[in-house]
Chain A
Amino acid sequence: MNVLREHAEQQFQEELHELEKQDTGSKPTNWKLSPASVVKYLMGSKLSNGFEITPKYIGQQRLMEIAVATLTTDRALLLYGIPGTAKSWVSEHLAAAITGDSTLLIQGTAGTSEESIRYGWNYARLLAEGPSAAAMVSTPVMNAMQNGKIVRIEELTRISADVQDTLITVLSEKTMPVPELNMEVQAVKGFNVIATANNRDKGVNELSSALKRRFNTVILPVPATTEEEVRIVQTRVQSNLKALELPASAPTVHDIQRIVRIFRELRNGVTEDGRTKIKSPSSTVSTAEAISVVNNGLALAAHFGNGKLNAHDLASGLIGAIVKDPVQDTVVWNEYLENIVKTREEWKDIYRACKELN
């Protein structure tokens, strides 16, 4: 396989397969796994035959249970949270585990039109043959309805409000009327929608209350503890290392802890011991960014260094992730560097590396 990034159902094919074999619970129609097994797939566990399922989501199991339980009902699921809290990640894995297909995806943008949600027309055919089923261009939503699968809508709130509302009929009546052909597409059992939206952005389109009512909302929080966040970064970096075939050795826990600590402190506006107040930068400094900083550092180490992650490799990514606004964030970062990083004895290397780049 030569693709840059495999879909979840391909990357974790073996795990899904094993889970399916072991699964004794009852499965809702068109589901590949029982709900309890889906939760197992997300949270990780050890199967009775000793097979290890890696955790996909590190955090509260409760949230995943609510998410899966929602999909067993006829309500759609809305994953809500600040950027980088694994919303899309969770939605991809949910779709992969439940239907074995995470590819039915609509990326919400300001330009997403009704045609890309409901259906469009192949105009050449339309003109030649007149309206017919063959001239219709279906969308992921329609495909999912026809095959009883799960369609994912990313960044739902970026779609303009009137286009969002086309989902109401789909979600409540589970049907999509096609008045041009005097027919309708009725959803097959197993169909559902997972939408994600972030609550940090400005200028987004709030969901209308009619649409809101059709979603169960799960807010994905930022990791509660340092340990949790370190675990997330570690797991993701290791899997990336494999996927990108980087000839670098895995970063030490120590390095990850440092990065996570910097991110957490800047995000929370206070040092971990709670003694010093820090300004927070304008960017979100999420866990996802911490992951990319480490990845970036690993790439640098692999191609321009000795294959071992050092402070210099981390520094450039670090500054890039934190300083998003060249004026304000530079001040925040420099203050943090001088007041916090400099005073930490074992952080001398990272201080020097950042200083050089400044």
Chain B
Amino acid sequence: MAIHILGIRHHGVGSAKNVRERLSEIEPDLILVEGPPEIDNMLATIGQANLVPPAAIMCYNSENPRESVFYPFAEYSPEWVAAQYANKHRIPVKAIDLPVTISFAKKREGNESTPPEPITNKDPLSYLAEISGFNSGEDWWEYHFEQQKSNTSEHFEAVMHVMESLRAEEIKSSLDQENIHREAYMRTLIRQYQNEIFTNIAVICGAWHAPALTKLDETAKPDAKLIKELPKSRIKVTSTWIPWTNSRLSMLSGYGAGIYSPGWYEHQWKVKDNVEISWLTKIANTLRQKQIDISTAHVIEAFVLSRSLSAIRNKYYVSLEELDEAALSVMCMGDGIWLEFVKKELTIGNKLGKVPDEIPKVPLQEDFEQQLKTLRLKLTAGEKQYDLDLRKEIDLNRSILFFRLEIMEIPWAKRTVSRTKGTFKESWVTEWSPDMMIELIDKAFLGNTIESASHNLVVNKCIQAKSIAEASGLIQTCIPAELFESIDTVLEKIVELSTISSDIIDLMVALPGLIDVSRYGNVRKSDLSILNTIVKQLLVKVYVGLNNACYGLDEENSTNMFGLVANLNNAIRLYNNSDYQQQWHETLHGMIDNSGIHPIVLGCICRLLLDAQQMDEYEVDTRISFALSASNDPYQVASWLEGFLKGNGMILIYDNRLWNLIYSWVDSLPGNTFMELLPLLRRTFAKFEYGERRQIGEKAKRGLANDYTPVDRDAAHNFDPERAAKILPIIKELAGF
């Protein structure tokens, strides 16, 4: 009866190599690894062709996937290597750590705030590191146990010896309390397996635990007592494989042995000879792809420098640190930006694992993949465009799925401009990146289907919404995603907010969107009539408060307000309720003489009323002339003009009275003032269409306008009905009739 305890560092390449070698020497009939027994089934699948690391085992509470813990594996993880060996030689591989269900229960009791973190050798090792002059315990371990190529049985003996003496020193660690129970559990399981038919057992565990697992016989009784202390747990835990990324390998969960350079580890694992040189060649190639000229001489020089560096540091091997620094100095001209790029591309790497289809998945993921199948959508790494015709059912459902994913912040599909006109057309571009699947699984706690998850997300956001604008934004996203239940929740929230909200600006931001939505009437199942009532209530609030809200604003806020007033005006026009339209105009009328309002807003109001034909010609005339009076500060006048003219200069072309007023005003400005005002005026005029600007320019050349409009006259004079008719078919075709 033999038990071989192999102490390792999680994700340690050297450890993995030693484990591989040692296993083939001892030829065990059972392999035990550190990890909760819930992952046994998953371990048995390691070695299948379509399970490609980096991958992680996710153990989650079946009822609440949010309660979860990940056990990530890379190709060079000793546990992965061990399981691979076991499956290849058809011997069982079992995990012997504390079950996840108990850890969850412990966490609920409040005794624990973190999930089990098996790695503990870091802290105690740092004492050894300090004594022998290393930066950290990691470095010390790397130097002594990962890089040394010695006889493997001696290697594991040495590990055991170091850990034994460290434990004998009784160095306190924050994980001690946890470790007592975990080690007791491990020992108990080993004893169990021992009593079965197995005679030659290999145990792969974090180095720190190794000495604790040797004394099996004398600890049986105290262990039973310790295990009794553990809480009983009824939490049902499910395990599944999920694809992992290199950058996530450094995440602290499960085997949270933060490895910051997975790409480098993998390189060390895969490349047998000339590890350092081939690494530098990889760096050179990465930089070459970025159009940085790196010659072979650079690689040679970098290698020479890295070796001298490690010599200065008294190391017998070149580590990533030296290689990085040599590359920085030789290849990147000392510039850290390029090296950062190399780190991202190479040192971390963007490798992504694969997981076989038949592995049970998180319900949300299953739903997503099911929907992809029925909607005939593919996850492609490159861009793919979908032009959807919403009159077809499949396209409509695709669009709904895209909108829902958008709500879930999974940016797979992005809206693009449709080439064809018509509201029934939508164009989307999809581009899949595997990170999105992890994001999706991260959201598994929100619901078991895409629909319920996005619904819950909206509800969560809705609860947190503080302004009506936020909530109305949510409504707008819900409608194309057909989340009708969510709309009801959001509506309730809006009612609640609108009763307490007194922020006119918030209301004005929200209203155009709400009015837009209310015009849908009751789309399909949801009853939006309540929205109508809300819109009306809010409009009244705005009407009452607008005058005060505009009073005494500075320029920036006024410019903002000017935009809001113009938008709201558009929305009210669409709202098509003459009562409310009338009240809106009355509100504007009431503000026009308020001298405390910034001229840009006043100009805008004046224009809106003029366009809505709410002012007679005489009044408009008076207003404009008043606004342009010589005694007014020229800056104010320029702002007023900006408000009045913004976006549309046609009025200057056809209204000669207005033209003459502005023309004389510009004429009356002293040279200096004109120069000062020029940028302001330009801001206004530059926004006009090119044709408008040209016509205004031509008009200005002619000076003050007489009462006839020359443009019109020319047009009438030259009009040839026969020639004009010829263009009509082409216009028809262009317009798509």
Q: Which residue numbers of A lie inside 8 Å of B, CB to CB?
A: 35-36, 39, 62, 65-66, 68-70, 72-75, 78, 80, 209, 212-213, 216-219
Among residues 302 to 335 in chain B, which have CB atoms less than 8 Å away from a CB atom of chain A? 304-305, 308-309, 311-314, 325-326, 328-330, 332-335
Q: Tell me whether B293 and A216 are in contact (CB under 8 A).
A: no
Q: Tell me whether A69 and B312 are in contact (CB under 8 A).
A: yes
Determine the residue in chain A with the shortest Cβ distance to B293: A209
Q: Tell me whether A73 and B329 are in contact (CB under 8 A).
A: no
Q: Tell me whether A69 and B297 are in contact (CB under 8 A).
A: no
B325, B326, B334, B335: residue with the most chain A Cβ atoms closer than 10 Å: B334
- Least CB distance from B291 to A in Å reads 13
12 contacts between A and B (CB under 8 A): A65-B312, A66-B325, A66-B329, A69-B308, A70-B329, A73-B301, A73-B308, A78-B334, A80-B334, A213-B295, A217-B335, A219-B334
Starting from the known contacts A39-B312, A68-B312, A75-B330, 6 additional A-B residue pairs (CB-CB under 8 Å) come to: A36-B314, A65-B312, A65-B325, A66-B309, A69-B312, A70-B308
Interface residues on B, range: 20 to 34
Chain B residues near A36 (CB-CB < 8 A): 312, 314
Q: Tell me whether A70 and B305 are in contact (CB under 8 A).
A: yes
When chains A and B are docked, how far (Å) is the Cα of A70 from the Cα of B326? 9
Chain B residues near A66 (CB-CB < 8 A): 305, 309, 325-326, 328-329
Indicate if B298 sits at the interface (CB-CB under 8 A).
yes
Q: Which residue numbers of B lie inside 8 Å of A, CB to CB?
A: 293, 295, 297-298, 301, 304-305, 308-309, 311-314, 325-326, 328-330, 332-336
Chain A residues near B334 (CB-CB < 8 A): 78, 80, 217-219
Determine the residue in chain A with the shortest Cβ distance to B303: A73
Chain B residues near A65 (CB-CB < 8 A): 309, 312-313, 325
- Least CB distance from A2 to B in Å reads 38
Determine the residue in chain B with the shortest Cβ distance to A79: B334
When chains A and B are docked, how far (Å) is the Cα of A39 from the Cα of B335? 22
Q: Which of the residues A73, A75, A213, A219 comes within 8 Å of B335, measured between beta carbons?
A: A219
Determine the residue in chain A with the shortest Cβ distance to B332: A217
- Least CB distance from B331 to A in Å reads 10
Chain B residues near A219 (CB-CB < 8 A): 334-336
Supposing A209-B293, A213-B295, A216-B329 touch, asked if A69 and B305 sit within 8 A by C-beta, the answer is: yes
When chains A and B are docked, how far (Å) is the Cα of A272 from the Cα of B329? 31
- Least CB distance from A31 to B in Å reads 12
Q: Tell me whether A216 and B305 are in contact (CB under 8 A).
A: yes
Q: Which of the residues A72, A74, A218 comes within 8 Å of B329, measured between beta carbons?
A: A218
- Least CB distance from A216 to B in Å reads 4
Determine the residue in chain B with the shortest Cβ distance to A37: B312
Q: Tell me whether B308 and A72 are in contact (CB under 8 A).
A: yes
Q: Tell me whether B312 and A217 are in contact (CB under 8 A).
A: no
- Least CB distance from B173 to A in Å reads 30
When chains A and B are docked, how far (Å) is the Cα of A255 from the Cα of B561? 51
Q: Tell me whether B304 and A73 are in contact (CB under 8 A).
A: yes
Chain A residues near B336 (CB-CB < 8 A): 219
- Least CB distance from B335 to A in Å reads 7
- Least CB distance from A348 to B in Å reads 35
When chains A and B are docked, how far (Å) is the Cα of A36 from the Cα of B311? 8
- Least CB distance from B269 to A in Å reads 27
Determine the residue in chain B with the shortest Cβ distance to A39: B312
When chains A and B are docked, how far (Å) is the Cα of A35 from the Cα of B308? 9
When chains A and B are docked, how far (Å) is the Cα of A212 from the Cα of B332? 11
When chains A and B are docked, how far (Å) is the Cα of A186 from the Cα of B305? 23
Chain B residues near A217 (CB-CB < 8 A): 329-330, 332-335
When chains A and B are docked, how far (Å) is the Cα of A148 from the Cα of B439? 61
When chains A and B are docked, how far (Å) is the Cα of A70 from the Cα of B305? 6
Q: Tell me whether A213 and B329 are in contact (CB under 8 A).
A: no
Chain A residues near B332 (CB-CB < 8 A): 217
Q: Tell me whether A73 and B297 are in contact (CB under 8 A).
A: no
Q: Tell me whether A212 and B333 are in contact (CB under 8 A).
A: yes
- Least CB distance from B534 to A in Å reads 42
Q: Tell me whether A35 and B295 are in contact (CB under 8 A).
A: no
Chain A residues near B333 (CB-CB < 8 A): 80, 212, 217
Chain B residues near A72 (CB-CB < 8 A): 308, 311-312
When chains A and B are docked, how far (Å) is the Cα of A259 from the Cα of B67? 53
Determine the residue in chain B with the shortest Cβ distance to A75: B301
When chains A and B are docked, how far (Å) is the Cα of A72 from the Cα of B314? 15
Chain B residues near A74 (CB-CB < 8 A): 304
Q: Tell me whether B304 and A35 are in contact (CB under 8 A).
A: no
- Least CB distance from B393 to A in Å reads 56
Q: Tell me whether A62 and B325 are in contact (CB under 8 A).
A: yes
Chain A residues near B328 (CB-CB < 8 A): 66
Chain B residues near A209 (CB-CB < 8 A): 293
When chains A and B are docked, how far (Å) is the Cα of A62 from the Cα of B310? 11
When chains A and B are docked, how far (Å) is the Cα of A217 from the Cα of B330? 6
Chain B residues near A216 (CB-CB < 8 A): 301, 305, 329-330
